[in-house]
Chain A
Amino acid sequence: MWLFIVSDSLTFSALLIGYSYLRASNVWPTPFPFYPSIVFASVMTFCLLSSSLTMVFGVSASSKGDKAKARKWIFATIVFGTAFIVLHLIEWNHLMHQGLRPFYLPQTWVEVFTTTDGVPPSPLFGATFFTITGLHMFHVATGVIYLAVVALRVKKLKHEDVEISGLYWHFVDLVWMFVFPLIYIMSVDVGGHLPH
Chain B
Amino acid sequence: MNAHAHAEEHFAGSNRLFTFIWIWLVVLTLIEILLAYRPMSTVLMLTILLGLSIIKAALIVAYFMHLKFERLSLILTIVPMLVVCICLLFVFFPDSFRSAGLRYQFKQPPPVAPPPVEEF
Contact = CB atoms under 8 A, between A and B. Distances in A.
Given A25-B103, A118-B107, A190-B37, A65 B8 contact: yes
A7 to B, nearest CB: 10
Nearest to B7: A159
Contacts of B95: 21
A131 to B, nearest CB: 16
Contacts, number: 151
B93 to A, nearest CB: 7
Interface residues of A, number: 54
B109 to A, nearest CB: 9
Interface in A172-195: 173-174, 177-178, 180-182, 185-186, 188, 190
Contacts of A10: 82, 85-86
Interface residues of B, number: 58
Nearest to B111: A118
Interface string A39-50: 000100110011
Contacts of A24: 93, 96-97, 100
A6 B18 contact: no
Interface in A67-111: none
Interface in A14-70: 14, 17, 20-22, 24-26, 38, 42, 45-46, 49-50, 52-53, 55-57, 59-60, 62-65
Interface of A: 1-2, 6, 9-10, 13-14, 17, 20-22, 24-26, 38, 42, 45-46, 49-50, 52-53, 55-57, 59-60, 62-65, 117-119, 158-160, 163-164, 166-167, 170-171, 173-174, 177-178, 180-182, 185-186, 188, 190
11 contacts: A13-B89, A49-B22, A56-B18, A63-B7, A63-B8, A117-B104, A118-B110, A174-B57, A177-B53, A178-B53, A188-B36
